[in-house]
């Protein structure tokens, strides 16, 4: 968005709605060795698909608890809201997430399963 | 079609891909001029792509979206070399339709195409980190190839379009869109919140730079709108709910109670003479009064009366037989709701004037002789409270000196200010100054400005002449603060930045040229119709250059200041553009929908009904299947493919075409399953 620069260590997977993101996608990413996962959707109340992000928010709150139980640091999985017009917000959030994950270091929790 | 062409059509091989054969992926890495090739090495990306599983061919070209570029892909498809296409280039928002068409024209199912966005997601946003950008581009290609291998052919779904348009806002933009669409034969529902159409333009006296009388050019249009058979005019109404999607929206409109039977009311106005309640007139911005029973201004359309129940004391005088002969008064009227089906929606909700009360240094609201630009317009207007003979509020004497301050609430990068230029204030202040000088040639008129932006047709000439022929003093500099002198005069302290010296000036009246803002309830409208707003609060266009009247929600268009500050000619041009875009869509009669809907795997579904709860579109129901028992069933006509059901399905029994679990897992794994 507007060519605002952000760290190059994220890879974007396109989904129709944050509501489409099955918890398995996040768990699979962590198993695969990605150091962190970000799910980004429309702001609550502004969902392009009416209420998908609200469904997602509830689901991720539960998932976050579950990941904690497995001993995965909460900062590895981030849920954030940014609209299509908020390029700078998106960039800033990615910068923040990258910083948090760098502090945690590589995700080696599931190394043995690779 | 020529014989040769027909022959060619015949030999063109229809490529049948069932999805079961071995994927043969063609990867096309676009230079996009220097947008991509200027940051990363495209030949190296091509070399990398060749090493990926199932990649049959990888190629580079300057612009794959060009005719030649498209033909390269077509030839590879038609020669049977590939059965999946990955284009690594810009955003799918830009060219996904282009490349889907390429596949289709070459005989390949268009959904066997996947776009890797290595421009917006790599070379543009990591421009200053070329190595990082290269690694990102490599991975994005790898991820797209992984998804492409899992793609299955899909069939396009078409739905019919209701040949009707809902227009929200009855100002100059909404009216023009309505007239164009109605003339083309489409049904139009024009919804206006206030009791009359006309919008802000009705409040203006003259229009720059031609000095046309605003009302004289506006009111005939208002009458045309009211008379047009295809336009259903819904004034004093609000849209309260919008459901559905392109081609088939359903809107619920609330008709607010007028407390006066609009059919029976003849607009005679006798009630006004009898009404004992006097209150501020919104149309004249508090500079004049009206009664509790009123029409907003004499030329209002429709010219029927409304009772303002916030102020009405229900004395019953207007309902008396000798006052209202047609017996039109209805104190107990309730809001009415109506539902309309439309294929398209145009948002033309207009603007609010920036409220300068917060800028304490300018004394607005504190000193009587400080007014805003729209109030000045009403004072100058021949239909205004002073019959076009402006006087200052404190003593109703014609001011001998007036100062205008530009960029009030615009071009302000401090907290709370609007950063954008409102585009009309330089011109309206110049126009108002000229109008005042025409009436009082010996008056002293000053305009304090940052830059004068006279960019439109005839605007520069208009501004030049203001200084040269009318003797208006333009002073470059911001006003630091104002205070009140004796006799309510205004003392201005400012810096003349051209002379680089501080100055003090005493004037009789001070006008704040306030900028335009998005409507205070634009956020609610945005949620209502599910369109987005840019950071300045105005509605966001789908593309700032190429799709300025479209929104990111298909079938919904924007016109006028709702999209961003603009003057009347630009608003009208955009309104006509929005009408044309809506008509283009509706003229086809049907619209193609992406077949990205949910599918249930009956063998996994346990019929828990969670998806039924989560589906906003009511597209899922539980059925009794002879082989599987109670399972979920998707109505594809209603499904929008958002995936809320799938993401939440604890049995992983629902998948979304185009974004299947298999496809997303393969992206996450980078093709290494």
Q: What is the CATH number of the domain that holds B630?
A: 3.30.70.20
Query: Which residues on A lie below 8 Å from B669 (Cβ)?
Result: 28, 32
Q: Give just the sign of the alpha carbon dihedral A8, A14, A15, A17.
A: positive
- Gap between the Cα atoms of B666 and B143, Å rounded: 8
Q: Is the domain of B321 the same as that of B388?
A: no
Q: With an 8 Å Cβ cutoff, are A48 and B552 in contact?
A: yes
Q: With an 8 Å Cβ cutoff, are A16 and B649 in contact?
A: no
Q: With an 8 Å Cβ cutoff, are B644 and A25 in contact?
A: no
pLDDT value of position B5: 62
Query: A77 in a domain, yes or no?
Result: yes
Of residues B614, B641, B652, nearest to A55 (C-beta): B614
> With 80 as the cut, is the pLDDT of residue B13 above it?
no
Angle (CA) B137 B49 B75, round 5°? 115
Query: Which residues on B lie below 8 Å from A91 (Cβ)?
Result: 125
Q: With an 8 Å Cβ cutoff, are A13 and B127 in contact?
A: no
Q: Which residue of B has its CA nearest to A19?
A: B644
Neighbouring CB atoms inside 10 A of B51's CB total 9
| Cα pseudo-dihedral B200, B205, B210, B212, rounded to 10 | 90
- Gap between the Cα atoms of B330 and B153, Å rounded: 62
- Gap between the Cα atoms of B595 and A55, Å rounded: 23
Query: A2 in a domain, yes or no?
Result: no
B6 pLDDT band, cuts 50/70/90, is low
Q: With an 8 Å Cβ cutoff, are A85 and B527 in contact?
A: no
Q: The domain spanning residue B69 has which CATH number? A: 3.40.50
pLDDT value of position B178: 98
Q: With an 8 Å Cβ cutoff, are B136 and A6 in contact?
A: no
Mode of pairing for the β-strands spanning B278-280 and B289-291: antiparallel
- Gap between the Cα atoms of B265 and B326, Å rounded: 7
pLDDT value of position B18: 78
Q: What is the mean pLDDT of chain B?
A: 94
| Cα pseudo-dihedral A30, A32, A33, A35, rounded to 10 | -40
Q: Is the domain of B28 the same as that of B91?
A: yes
> B560 with B172: CB under 8 angstroms?
yes
> Would you tell me which residues 16-75 of chain A have a C-beta closer than 8 angstroms to some C-beta of chain B?
16-17, 19-25, 28-29, 32, 34, 45-52, 55-56, 59
- Pick the closest to residue B424 from B348, B515, B354 (CA basis): B515
- Pick the closest to residue B104 from B146, B70, B66, B57 (CA basis): B70
Query: A5 in a domain, yes or no?
Result: no
The pLDDT tens digits of the residues spanning B285-327 come to: 989 999 999 999 999 999 999 999 999 999 999 999 999 999 9
- The Cα-based distances of A87 to A36, A42, B500, B596 in angstroms read 21, 13, 39, 27
Query: Which residues on B lie below 8 Å from A114 (Cβ)?
Result: none
Query: Which residues on B lie below 8 Å from A16 (Cβ)?
Result: 596, 641-643, 656, 658-659
Query: A8 in a domain, yes or no?
Result: no
- Gap between the Cα atoms of B151 and B18, Å rounded: 10
For B332, residues 6+ apart whose C-beta sits below 8 A from its C-beta are none
Q: With an 8 Å Cβ cutoff, are A20 and B647 in contact?
A: yes
pLDDT value of position B9: 60
Q: DSSP characters for B138-157?
A: HHHHHHHHHHHHH------E
- Gap between the Cα atoms of B295 and B554, Å rounded: 37
Q: What's the structural domain count of chain B?
A: 5
CB pairs A-B closer than 8 Å: 132
Mode of pairing for the β-strands spanning B509-514 and B370-372: parallel
> With 60 as the cut, is the pLDDT of residue B451 above it?
yes
For B613, residues 6+ apart whose C-beta sits below 8 A from its C-beta are none
Q: DSSP characters for B522-564?
A: HHHHHHHHT--B-TTSSBPPSBTTTBTTB-SSTTEEE-GGGTS
Q: With an 8 Å Cβ cutoff, are A46 and B527 in contact?
A: yes
pLDDT value of position B212: 93
Chain B: give the shortest CA distance to residue A104, in Å. Answer: 20
B21 pLDDT band, cuts 50/70/90, is confident
Which one of B125, B526, B657, B666 would you mutate to disrupt binding with A, by most A Cβ within 10 Å of its Cβ?
B125
* Last-in-domain residue among B281, B302, B332: B332
Q: The domain spanning residue B243 has which CATH number? A: 3.50.50.60
Q: Is the domain of B45 the same as that of B104?
A: yes
Range of the domain at B41: 24-150
Query: A66 in a domain, yes or no?
Result: yes
Query: For B198-224, what is the HEC assignment?
Result: CHHHHHCCEECCCCEEHHHHHHHHHHH
Q: Is the domain of B182 the same as that of B246?
A: yes
The pLDDT tens digits of the residues spanning B46-65 come to: 999 999 999 999 999 999 99
Q: Which residue of B has its CA nearest to A90?
A: B125
Q: With an 8 Å Cβ cutoff, are A17 and B644 in contact?
A: yes
pTM for this model (two decimals): 0.87
> B299 with B280: CB under 8 angstroms?
no
Q: Which residue of A has its CA nearest to B137?
A: A11
> B634 with B649: CB under 8 angstroms?
no
Query: Which residues on A lie below 8 Å from B124 (Cβ)?
Result: 3
Query: B568 in a domain, yes or no?
Result: yes
Mode of pairing for the β-strands spanning B113-117 and B157-160: unpaired
Query: Which residues on B lie below 8 Å from A17 (Cβ)?
Result: 642-644
Q: With an 8 Å Cβ cutoff, are B614 and A19 in contact?
A: yes
Query: Which residues on A lie below 8 Å from B143 (Cβ)?
Result: 11, 13
Cβ-count burial A18-49 (b if 16+ within 10 Å, e if not): bbbbbbbbbbbbbbbebbbbbbbbbeeebbbb
Neighbouring CB atoms inside 10 A of B196's CB total 22
B95 pLDDT band, cuts 50/70/90, is very high
- Strand ranges in B54-117 using DSSP code E only, listed in sequence order: 55-61, 84-89, 113-117
Query: Which residues on A lie below 8 Å from B661 (Cβ)?
Result: 22, 24
Q: With an 8 Å Cβ cutoff, are A11 and B132 in contact?
A: no
pLDDT value of position B102: 96
Chain B: give the shortest CA distance to residue A73, in Å. Answer: 20
Backbone φ and ψ for A96, nearest 5 degrees, come out as -65, -45
Q: Is the domain of B444 the same as that of B505?
A: yes
- Gap between the Cα atoms of A41 and B422, Å rounded: 31
Q: Is the domain of B319 the same as that of B439?
A: no
> B658 with B154: CB under 8 angstroms?
yes
For B302, residues 6+ apart whose C-beta sits below 8 A from its C-beta are B196, B226, B233, B235, B262
* Last-in-domain residue among B587, B614, B640: B587
Cβ-count burial B394-431 (b if 16+ within 10 Å, e if not): beeebbebbbbbbbbbbbbeeeebbebbbbbbbbbbbb
Query: A36 in a domain, yes or no?
Result: yes
What region, left, alpha or beta, does residue A15 occupy, with left being phi > 0 and alpha being psi -120 to 50 degrees? beta
Q: Is the domain of B569 the same as that of B612?
A: no
Neighbouring CB atoms inside 10 A of B260's CB total 25
Q: Which residue of A has its CA nearest to B611?
A: A55
Query: A13 in a domain, yes or no?
Result: no
Q: Is the domain of B61 the same as that of B144?
A: yes
> Would you tell me which residues 73-92 of chain A have a C-beta closer than 8 angstroms to some C-beta of chain B?
83-86, 91
Q: Is the domain of B273 the same as that of B134?
A: no
- Gap between the Cα atoms of A91 and B282, Å rounded: 43
- Gap between the Cα atoms of B60 and B42, Å rounded: 7
- The Cα-based distances of B433 to B384, B388, B448, B456, B511 in angstroms read 17, 14, 12, 19, 10
pLDDT value of position B463: 96
Q: Which residue of B has its CA nearest to A41?
A: B642
B10 pLDDT band, cuts 50/70/90, is low
Query: B620 in a domain, yes or no?
Result: yes
Query: B15 in a domain, yes or no?
Result: no
Q: Which residue of A has its CA nearest to B527?
A: A46
The pLDDT tens digits of the residues spanning A36-84 come to: 999 999 988 778 888 899 999 999 999 999 999 989 998 999 999 988 8
> With 90 as the cut, is the pLDDT of residue B461 above it?
yes
pLDDT value of position B414: 84
Q: What share of chain A is helix, strand, coil (3-state, %, to 5)?
A: 50, 10, 40
Mode of pairing for the β-strands spanning B351-353 and B516-518: antiparallel
- Gap between the Cα atoms of A74 and A86, Å rounded: 25
- Pick the closest to residue B490 from B520, B510, B513, B518 (CA basis): B510
Q: What's the structural domain count of chain A?
A: 1
Query: A47 in a domain, yes or no?
Result: yes
The pLDDT tens digits of the residues spanning B163-214 come to: 999 999 999 999 999 999 999 999 999 999 999 999 999 999 999 999 999 9
Q: With an 8 Å Cβ cutoff, are B643 and A20 in contact?
A: yes
pLDDT value of position A84: 82
* Cα B450 → chain centroid: 29
Q: Is the domain of B89 the same as that of B175?
A: no
Query: Which residues on A lie below 8 Å from B129 (Cβ)?
Result: 5, 7-8
pLDDT value of position A1: 57
The ipTM, to two decimals, is 0.94
């Amino acid at each position: 968005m507007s060519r605002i620069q952000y760290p190059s260590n994220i890879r974007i997977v396109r989904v129709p709605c944050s509501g489409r993101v099955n918890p398995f996608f996040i768990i699979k990413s962590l198993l695969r060795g990605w150091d962190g996962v970000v799910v980004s959707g429309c702001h609550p109340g502004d969902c392009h698909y009416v209420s998908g992000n609200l469904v997602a928010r509830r689901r991720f709150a539960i998932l976050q608890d579950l990941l904690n139980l497995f001993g995965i640091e909460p900062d590895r999985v981030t849920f954030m809201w940014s609209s299509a017009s908020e390029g700078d917000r998106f960039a800033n959030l990615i910068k923040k997430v990258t910083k948090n994950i760098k502090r945690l270091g590589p995700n080696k929790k599931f190394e043995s399963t690779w | 079609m020529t014989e040769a062409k027909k022959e060619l059509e015949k030999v063109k091989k229809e490529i049948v891909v069932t999805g079961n054969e071995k994927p043969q992926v063609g990867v096309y890495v676009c230079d996009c001029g220097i947008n991509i090739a200027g940051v990363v090495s495209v030949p190296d990306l091509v070399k990398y792509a060749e090493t990926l599983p199932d990649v049959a061919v990888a190629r580079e070209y300057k612009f794959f979206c060009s005719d030649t570029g498209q033909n390269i892909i077509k030839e590879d498809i038609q020669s049977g070399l590939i059965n999946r296409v990955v284009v690594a280039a810009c955003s799918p928002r830009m060219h996904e339709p282009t490349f889907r068409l390429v596949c289709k024209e070459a005989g390949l199912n268009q959904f066997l195409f996947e776009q890797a966005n290595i421009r917006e997601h790599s070379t543009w946003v990591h421009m200053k980190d070329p190595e990082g950008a290269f690694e990102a581009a490599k991975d994005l290609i790898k991820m797209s190839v992984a998804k492409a291998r899992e793609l299955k052919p899909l069939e396009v779904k078409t739905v019919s379009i209701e040949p009707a348009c809902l227009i929200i806002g009855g100002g100059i933009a909404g009216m023009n869109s309505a007239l164009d669409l109605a003339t083309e034969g489409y049904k139009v529902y024009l919804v206006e919140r206030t009791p009359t159409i006309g919008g802000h333009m009705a409040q203006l006296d003259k229009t720059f730079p031609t000095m046309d009388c605003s009302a004289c050019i506006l009111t005939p249009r208002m009458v045309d709108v009211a008379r047009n058979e295809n336009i259903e005019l819904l004034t004093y109404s609000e849209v309260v709910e919008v459901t559905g999607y392109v081609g088939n929206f359903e809107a619920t409109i609330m008709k607010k109670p007028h407390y006066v039977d609009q059919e029976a009311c003849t607009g005679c106005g006798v009630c006004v003479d009898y009404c004992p309640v006097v209150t501020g007139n919104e149309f004249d911005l508090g500079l004049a009064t009206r009664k509790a029973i009123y029409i907003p201004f004499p030329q209002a359309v429709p010219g029927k009366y409304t009772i303002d129940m916030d102020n009405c004391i229900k004395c019953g005088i207007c309902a008396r037989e000798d006052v209202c002969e047609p017996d039109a008064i209805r104190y107990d009227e309730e809001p009415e709701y109506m539902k309309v089906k439309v294929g398209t929606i145009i948002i033309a909700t207009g603007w609010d004037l920036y409220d300068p009360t917060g800028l304490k240094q300018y004394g607005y609201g504190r000193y009587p002789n400080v007014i805003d630009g729209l109030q000045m317009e009403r004072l100058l207007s021949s239909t205004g409270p002073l019959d076009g003979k402006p006087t200052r509020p404190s003593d109703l004497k014609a001011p001998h000196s007036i100062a205008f301050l530009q960029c009030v609430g615009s071009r302000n990068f401090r907290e709370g200010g609007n950063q954008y230029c409102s585009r009309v204030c330089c011109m309206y202040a110049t126009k108002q100054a000229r109008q005042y000088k025409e009436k009082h040639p010996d008056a002293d008129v000053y305009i304090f400005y940052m830059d004068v932006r006279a960019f439109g047709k005839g605007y520069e000439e208009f501004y030049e002449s203001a200084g040269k022929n009318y003797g208006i003093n333009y002073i470059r500099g911001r006003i630091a603060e104002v205070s009140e002198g004796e006799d309510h005069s205004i003392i201005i302290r400012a810096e003349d930045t051209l002379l680089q010296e501080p100055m003090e000036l005493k004037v009789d009246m001070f006008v704040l040229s306030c900028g335009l803002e998005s409507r205070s309830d634009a956020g609610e409208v945005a949620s209502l119709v599910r369109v987005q707003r840019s950071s300045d609060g105005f509605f966001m266009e789908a593309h700032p250059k190429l799709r300025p009247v479209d929104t990111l929600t298909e079938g919904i268009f924007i016109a006028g200041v709702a999209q961003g500050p603009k003057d009347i000619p630009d608003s009208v041009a955009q309104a006509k553009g929005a009408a044309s875009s809506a008509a283009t869509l509706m003229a086809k009669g049907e619209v193609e929908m992406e077949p990205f809907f949910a599918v249930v795997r009956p063998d996994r579904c346990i019929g828990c009904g969670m998806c039924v709860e989560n589906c906003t579109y009511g597209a899922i129901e539980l059925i009794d299947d002879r082989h599987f028992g109670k399972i979920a069933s998707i109505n594809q006509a209603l499904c929008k493919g958002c995936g809320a059901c799938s993401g939440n399905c604890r049995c992983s029994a629902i998948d979304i075409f185009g974004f299947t679990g298999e496809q997303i897992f393969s992206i996450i794994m980078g093709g290494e399953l």
